Amino acid sequence: MKYKLSGKWKSGYAFDLHTLASTYLGPDEFGHDRFDNTRSEMGELVYQLKYKRDQSTIPKIIELLTAITGIEKFDFIIPVPSSRARVFQPVDEIATALGKQRGVPVLIGFLAKESRGNELKNVTDPDQKEKLLKDAIKIAGDRKVKGKNILLVDDLYDSGATLNACCSILYEEAGAKGVFVLTMTKTRT
């Protein structure tokens, strides 16, 4: 299944929904809300990779992505920078495997995100959030992407604010010809 995504990019898609259903179970002993989630196949794979650190899911994610055509025509694949440090970065791993399969160079670390703590967490105004993100995301790579077509890859599409900020930087500061978006999943709302 493919879901069209709208934003500052030329074209964008999410491969599938992240969750298909979610039932509220109430708070746990620490006061955190608990949910019983039913995930799509891709959603479960991304969840296992991101939160359980199960790298064995990567080949299956890449296998599912064979349904997406045209990736081999991009000049570069750039993973969206993570908002938190992890032992390994799931989006970087997916982008690397996808680039290897399709013969497209992957620019790991081309974009970097400064840690802003909870500064972004409580921002509900989309324009304010995008401005804060744009200030937090920087070009960290030295590769030239001016005049090139870029595939921006992320694991989960929610509001699109991070992807919009990345696109703005790639267009305005890096001079990309075209930025396209592919996310593994998207939220239902």
Q: Measured between alpha carbons, how far is 129 from 63 in angstroms, rounded to an integer?
A: 34
Q: What is the pLDDT of residue 41?
A: 97
Q: Measured between alpha carbons, how far is 121 from 117 in angstroms, rounded to an integer?
A: 8
- Joined tokens for residue 25: 């179970």
Confidence of residue 86 (pLDDT cuts 50, 70, 90): confident
Name the pairing type of β-strands 11-17 and 178-186.
parallel
- The predicted-structure confidence for 147-162, as pLDDT tens digits, reads as follows 999 999 999 998 898 9
Confidence of residue 22 (pLDDT cuts 50, 70, 90): very high
- The predicted-structure confidence for 42-63, as pLDDT tens digits, reads as follows 999 999 999 999 999 999 999 9
Q: What is the pLDDT of residue 117?
A: 54
Amino acid of residue 98: L
Q: Measured between alpha carbons, how far is 127 from 63 in angstroms, rounded to an integer?
A: 36
Instruction: Locate the domains of the chain by residue range.
Output: 3-15+70-186
Hey, which residues does 2 pair with through a beta bridge? none
Query: Mean pLDDT, the chain, as a whole number?
Result: 91
3-state SS, residue 113 = strand
CA torsion sign, 173 to 175 to 181 to 182? negative
User: Residues 6 or more apart from 6 whose CB is under 8 A from it?
Assistant: 12, 160
pLDDT value at 116 more than 70: no
DSSP 8-state code for residue 187: -
Amino acid of residue 36: D
Q: What is the pLDDT of residue 141?
A: 85
Domain 3-15+70-186 class in CATH: alpha beta
pLDDT value at 130 more than 80: no
pLDDT value at 87 more than 80: no
